[in-house]
Structure 1
Amino acid sequence: MTSTERRAPSGSTTITEEPAVALITALQSLSRAQREAAARIAHELSWPRSGVAVLHLLTTCGPTSLTDVAAHLRVDLSVASRQVSTLADGGYVVRTVDADDRRVRTVELTEAGRQLAAEAAQQYTALIDRAFAAWSTDDLVEATRTVNRLVDSISADTAHRRSPQNQQEYV
């Protein structure tokens, strides 16, 4: 395997890594950049970053069980429950008990939640437009294909390590 060079965080030195290690390092940097962007948008909305992720999920999926919220966000059920509780306390979501299975809690956006989600979507759209202004459509399509392939490869390896009782995200 050939090695890949990358700049150290200080920018002053070059570090040589195996290509797969360099890829994981780049993904970690991407993850940090994504968290920072999401945190900035959440701050502009005066809302916790995790709450914005739940709002986006509910906008995309519609009413969803709490278990599915946790699965989609790849977090523990207790983490999803706290995030949903914060949103419910703010009036952005409502939780209902399933009539057929009283153990199932469904989470749904309120009108205020839809408005906050729309504001967050506008912020994300503006960020995306700025960040990828110099990218061609072909560049974006290829990057999407590559990222999806990365997700599939990493998820295939980690999925069998997660038990239904421990749906925590591996970091």
Structure 2
Amino acid sequence: MSSTLSRSPSGTEAPAVALVTALQSLARAQREAAGRIAHELDWPRSGVALLHLLARCGPTSLTDVAAHLRVDLSVASRQVSTLVDGGYVVRTVDADDRRVRTIELTDAGLALAAEAREQYAALIDRAFSAWSPEDLDEAIRTLDRLVDTISADTERRRAPQNQQEFA
């Protein structure tokens, strides 16, 4: 549903608004798929995303976890604590900088991440079985461009010289 402000003079939906609507639908579909996989693993969706990140990146700082997941540090800390409590992640203190906590998967975390990766692969194989490699390449390029465009605008707005402008 769009407001009259998002319509062109001809009454059609403005392309940028239609794009945002499509992205919101994509985000919902992704959350639903991730939720289904997390349910099958009997694990919270956010925990599975964190396991996937750590399996891909290896040991990393809590600050980097928050940045990669694009969440507040306190949110990342709660997600990590849940995984620590479950025995899937360990926190260690950096020997060079005792303020830094490194997050790393345990063997149980690696196994759960591998199981989640297999389930994601099966879902993707089913969902995109009718897509050609060229279709997939085009979709990847377009999505990467969208992420870069939105991220660049977000970073520009976060820049210190713009803080007063957007306050």
TM-score interval for Structure 1 and Structure 2 normalised by the shorter chain = 0.7 to 0.9
Structure 2 length as normaliser, TM-score?
0.87
Unaligned segments of structure 2, at least 5 residues: 1-6, 161-167
Count of aligned residue pairs for this structure pair: 152
Determine the C-alpha separation between the residues in 2 that align with 1:28 and 1:47.
24
Q: 2:149 aligns with which of 149, 153, 157?
A: 153
Query: Is 1:115–2:111 an aligned residue pair?
Result: yes
Question: TM-score scaled to structure 1, two decimals?
Answer: 0.85
1:124 and 2:120 are equivalent in the alignment = yes
Q: Secondary structure at the match of 2:157?
A: coil
How far 1:16 sits from its partner (Å)?
Answer: 3.2
Deviations 1:69-101 (A, max 9, x none): 000000000000000000000000000000110
Unaligned runs of 5+ in 1: 4-14, 165-171
Runs of 4+ in 1 over 2 A off after TM superposition: 160-164
1:105 aligns to what?
101
Paired-residue identity, %: 81
Matches within 5 A, 1:135-150: 135-150=131-146
Q: Give how far 1:163 is off.
A: 7.0
| Deviations, residues 9-37 of structure 1 (Å, cap 9, x unaligned) | xxxxxx93111110110000000000000
Matched, 1:55 2:51: yes
Q: Does 1:67 align with 2:84?
A: no
What's the counterpart of residue 78 of structure 2?
82
The residue type paired with residue 93 of structure 1 is: V
User: 1:62 Cα shift?
Assistant: 0.4
The structural deviation recorded for 1:128 is 0.1
Which structure: greater helix fraction?
A: 2
In structure 1, how many angstroms separate the alpha carbons of the residues matched to 2:145 and 2:72?
A: 25
| 1:17 pairs with 2:18 | no
Q: Which SS does the other structure have where 1:16 is aligned?
A: coil
Give the letter aligned to residue 23 of structure 1.
Answer: L
> Which of 38, 41, 63 lines up with 2:37 in the alignment?
41
Amino acid at match of 1:62: G
State which of 9, 23, 27 in structure 1 corresponds to 2:23.
27
Instruction: Tell whether 2:112 aligns with 1:133.
Output: no
Partners in 1 of 2:98 and 2:159 — Cα distance? 24
> Distance between the aligned counterparts of 1:88 and 1:102, measured in 2?
19
